[in-house]
A and B are shown apart, each in its own frame.
Chain A
Amino acid sequence: DTGVSQNPRHKITKRGQNVTFRCDPISEHNRLYWYRQTLGQGPEFLTYFQNEAQLEKSRLLSDRFSAERPKGSFSTLEIQRTEQGDSAMYLCASSTKTGLGGNTIYFGEGSWLTVV
């Protein structure tokens, strides 16, 4: 499968624990995005990387959240001291700029987080 890969797909954790999600983008895609989606809402942007540089962060990304893409390939999203409000699906996406100036963004299947 050459699509965007995310793991774990499901995570149940106790409030206060730390969790980490991993995303492997489509190879040669230099842009990587993290989104969060709760029930009944569309995906909300969290952060964006171009290669290894984190170029944009949403105000939604509190200081408990940190994302890295150390070698410009895979990325991790860590949530420290989880809260029940963090329960959501965390989506990773990747893209590459096309010659026409646009880009198609492809999503992974998401990582479901339940904080109990």
Chain B
Amino acid sequence: RKEVEQDPGPFNVPEGATVAFNCTYSNSASQSFFWYRQDCRKEPKLLMSVYSSGNEDGRFTAQLNRASQYISLLIRDSKLSDSATYLCVVKSEYGNKLVFGAGTILRVKS
């Protein structure tokens, strides 16, 4: 079983739609959680950190459920420019590395 699992998609949505991605992680010692965005053939870039209380950054909302070891990302009012791969990422308290999921592909169409 992979340490971080995501639905690979692709999610094909129209502009303006709301779309949600989910992710599960297996290491209960994981302490930090992130969503990264990766455009085709580019490097991953930090989209947002994920906190237990949930957090919002403009059209993006991230949630963490530690009991279920589940992370989500909600994108409202999708834009064409949101088309990318979204990577769910976890980091354990005692490790120094980020562990990435395989990513979820989002395609926003006009």
Contact = CB atoms under 8 A, between A and B. Distances in A.
The B interface is mostly helix, strand or loop, or mixed, namely: loop
B42 A42 contact: no
Interface of A: 31, 33, 35, 40-45, 48, 50, 55-56, 89, 91, 102, 104-110
Contact of A42 (B32, B45, B100): B100
B42 A102 contact: no
A43 B44 contact: yes
Contacts of A48: 96-97
A89 B100 CA distance: 15
A45 B97 CA distance: 7
Contacts of B44: 43, 91, 107
A44 B96 contact: no
B96 A108 contact: no
Nearest to B46: A104
Contacts, number: 47
A105 B46 CA distance: 8
B87 A42 contact: yes
| Interface footprint category on B | 20 to 34
13 contacts: A33-B97, A35-B100, A42-B101, A44-B100, A45-B98, A55-B96, A56-B97, A91-B43, A102-B32, A105-B98, A107-B44, A109-B42, A110-B42
Contacts of B41: 89
Contacts of A43: 44, 87, 98, 100
Given A31-B96, A42-B100, A55-B96, A109 B46 contact: no
